[in-house]
Structure 1
């Protein structure tokens, strides 16, 4: 990267030591121009075909020249500041088009994946939200989309890349460090996709700290990616990181990986790259589909950084991956886990390189109640993996989403983040931007990003435990569908990886759920056997009663381009008979008593306490703080009462909250009643 001395007093020490741009002042134009100047013949990107052969490449000087030419062409159709929608395949055209917009001082909108299911629907959503002045891409792709989408409300100008590359001039506008570099559209897991405005400052800060955390400031970077370029991890974590680190990035189009996962590992073996990764489902596909014969061709000994993003159902899968591919040279200590999201540019936390991952077992019941307590028996166990600690100069807090107060270590709450990586906000959504990007912790003036994700901290390590929007509350207890999905996939090899969905059978019915499960093309067990296994596991392990289990062919669980289940859309498609259903199984839900109201819970608690304390020497109804302090009442008896209450009602109570409540008998009863009522 370019060596740029900032005007500000504060200076990034790495600028002088490693000759990289300072995130306080530089832009992506500075980054690429310097790379082209100092290493003009360096091959930044190599594109592979289905046989993992190299079919195209881009050097740093070629990309700089192509970007400047496209920029000049763009100025014939628009002006600085215009939004431009990228409509390219997962190849080098996407990278050239992206930097062409950056050099033109225009704002590319990234997020349309043209080779995934329902891409037309997503294209219309992004185009109508971004309101681009221009749409650019290869002539054939533009012609196909233009013929199918004649009624866009933005009325853009469609400009083929072939035309832009014929421009005779060259343009390179540096832009402003704190100006918007591009708009990254979200996956749309729970809501319609939204555009995130990322600044040059956001991006270069995140790239600089990614490089440091991977130790690529001290050695050569070589990466391989099959991730979509329209996704933040593929674009920022692979394409931009290669320029930032001054290394090569080999690109395997996503469709080739999905068709045959072995291609990913074959490419890693052939090109001896040191860094690659993806979501847990990618590792799971390799575990399931790579054969013993395939294994003979693999050499994964050069793979030193195997990235995996935050996922709640990953521990068992990642252990199996390590075991299966150990003979091919893969080592568990090369796994690097992290937590991140597009609203925070990309990376928020990372585990250390060359350090074996921290697999920890927690009580499932405790996690559902908001506490990260160790598991004490195999029937109440959920395994999670540390996502590591925060990048430098950023702050990660666990916050009570209702009170906006910070929770102590070991308490489950919403993950809030502050720091230079936090994006400017959502494009053209001021109210959502204010709510999500400018949240305040009680007693602080600093702005925080509300992630909507659940997690907890232990010894500065972040553990991701689920998404607030995905959790299901049944009879006052909270369940994470990802946890259930992971258990089902581990128990039945006929279930496709990352292909289950859970939701309330009826919004008014809080006692049962509907389960949708995609099966592999040729299941070994009968449909009846699969449904029976699913039903037994869910009812016995989780005490959940399905009203319906739906088995479908591939495509039954609608997903975002990055592979996350879209629950609301899947539920809607089921009701509209729009899913590829194989068979439905219906069940009677036991006639369970309705959840207790607060008043009913209070009566139940007082009755239970009276029974449990009838042999005490002290009258618990006369409990006061003074009696506890003066030891006129045995605090050990109260602690035993808490333990017995947890065992009897199958819940967990924070010990400190319990002791605070033990100031009066009424406070104690109110606390316990709140744990077992419907509105706790």
Structure 2
């Protein structure tokens, strides 16, 4: 029996691990230089996780309790995650500090997450033990520390009680792009439904497939896409820590080449970073020709970035037909749609005037007022997507509206947040994704987040249009250097652009401010308040996406300081 069949027979991710453990597949962890540091076969993982489960229960953690796990890319996180499952305890992966601005802010963030999950215990990597102890100081936890601190615990005797399908498999904190992250309650039933759909219908896993990933385990694309779904599909995964990818992005591709990997995913910025680093380098005999599923997800897809990547690495075997655009979110476990395999990117070039003024996705007749959007594929079998008007009516193809989804992969709720759950999940099972988009040829196209829309002279304008225009049109700026948002005042809506400036020279900063304001006024016909901030000052979510909500908070705090 394969792990996929386990899902169809009503079994859990633990049953899938038991089945996968009969083979030789597993997880391989690599150092920042690409050297194998630990091989963790599924057979050994299940045995070690069972033993740890008995110790967790012996330490006083009870079935049904939540356990906070700071999620580094290492074997100990995986062992603890599955130990929780075997003990019928609910793991809650939490982020590393790299995505936050400063130690104190990170500790406060983690403390709030631990409280939100009402965790009974918390564990961290060895290097972060002291940070976790400080973050959890004063909280009534059964245990706080590292996996090594469980060694002294006396294991409970007797068989472990296995979870039911409708028990929680884990709590996934959303990335926090619009507010403080909410805990998404994911059941074993939803997890297995999504992991099976991903492997069978999205990636169409075949013999010989192998994965490489640098995506963090605290994000749904890293956790589900490259830790849990590979167990269901019985695939080996080679891991590079996210921080090591950031330092050496080409190591990602070198690992794909060495392992002859076939499946790897990244947000657009990962492809962009690799192409930028490779721009002037001799890549020698790098060969990534086995990469058949080069997935893109986790953020708005930037087709020009992906074309540059394909152009740069074509000589090293990369086939742009390998691109697989997809769409999903933690509230749907991970994935809702996949573009057809072996077709590469398909994009619509739309008339911005029709899009902004009429909400209609019409082909563009002018390059000056046009924008490209990527088709992200049809919905997975057993699921449904609708695009609705503000009045709740289902819209026809090529009409822009709010996206709703339904299916077996959806969350149970936001953990202990009934009001937020009621706002997002209807009694008949429809999830309000908060995203805007349209359907074209039965494929979903995402145009932006509803909360990010800016009203300019009666037009709905997407902030990423303004951001990308500045990044591509103002000398010295890079991708991710600009955050655009609106601030409501009694006299109307103020459009603000926070821009990262690397120079402290007054004349350079003055020119940058003038150039940004001038470009946006000419291109979009609106005055924009331009405020410069330092390099790396723009706040990011735990998944590396720009957080416009926190950028707005940063602007208001800076404004208050200078008032």
The match for 1:410 among 385, 390, 398 is: 398
Note if contact 1:68-1:171 (Cα within 8 Å) is conserved in structure 2.
Answer: no
- Measure the CA separation in 2 of the matches of 1:426 and 1:380: 40
- Measure the CA separation in 2 of the matches of 1:314 and 1:515: 20
Offset, 1:181: 0.8
Alignment match, 1:208: 196
Alignment match, 2:56: 74
Alignment match, 1:93: 76
The match for 2:524 among 519, 542, 567 is: 542
Offset, 1:537: 2.5
- Measure the CA separation in 2 of the matches of 1:467 and 1:155: 37
Q: Deviations over 1:61-99 (max 9, x none)?
A: 110011101100111112111111112422111111110
SS in 1 for 2:199: helix
Q: Could you say what the CA RMSD is over the residues aligned between the two structures, in angstroms?
A: 2.5
Offset, 1:171: 5.5
- Measure the CA separation in 2 of the matches of 1:329 and 1:246: 26
SS in 2 for 1:295: coil
Rate the CA distance shift 1:111–1:139 in 2: closer, same or farther, 3 A: closer
Alignment match, 1:383: 372
Within the alignment, does 1:263 sit opposite 2:251 as a pair? yes
Q: Deviations over 1:459-506 (max 9, x none)?
A: 101100000011111232111111222222233463232232112355
The match for 1:45 among 11, 20, 27 is: 27
TM-score by length of 2: 0.92
SS in 2 for 1:228: coil
SS in 2 for 1:396: strand
The match for 2:111 among 124, 149, 154 is: 124
SS in 2 for 1:568: helix
Structure 1 gaps of 5+ residues are 4-14, 440-445, 585-680
Offset, 1:172: 4.3
- Measure the CA separation in 1 of the matches of 2:266 and 2:146: 31
- Measure the CA separation in 2 of the matches of 1:138 and 1:258: 20
Alignment match, 2:221: 233
Note if contact 1:512-1:544 (Cα within 8 Å) is conserved in structure 2.
Answer: no
Alignment match, 1:556: 537
SS in 1 for 2:481: strand
SS in 1 for 2:180: coil
Alignment match, 1:27: 12
Within the alignment, does 1:516 sit opposite 2:516 as a pair? no
Q: Deviations over 1:535-554 (max 9, x none)?
A: 232112211211x3223332
Which range moved further: 173-182 or 345-354?
173-182
Note if contact 1:104-1:172 (Cα within 8 Å) is conserved in structure 2.
Answer: yes
Offset, 1:245: 1.1
- Measure the CA separation in 2 of the matches of 1:572 and 1:230: 24
The match for 2:297 among 309, 312, 319 is: 309
Rate the CA distance shift 1:365–1:32 in 2: closer, same or farther, 3 A: same
Note if contact 1:371-1:412 (Cα within 8 Å) is conserved in structure 2.
Answer: yes
Alignment match, 1:420: 408
Greater length-normalized contact order (CA 8 Å, ≥ 6 residues apart): 2
Structure 2 gaps of 5+ residues are none
Within the alignment, does 1:164 sit opposite 2:134 as a pair? no
Give the paired residue count.
553
SS in 1 for 2:112: helix
Note if contact 1:558-1:565 (Cα within 8 Å) is conserved in structure 2.
Answer: yes
Offset, 1:526: 3.7
The match for 2:318 among 324, 327, 330 is: 330
Offset, 1:264: 1.6
- Measure the CA separation in 2 of the matches of 1:171 and 1:578: 60
The match for 1:396 among 385, 392, 400 is: 385
- Measure the CA separation in 1 of the matches of 2:189 and 2:282: 44
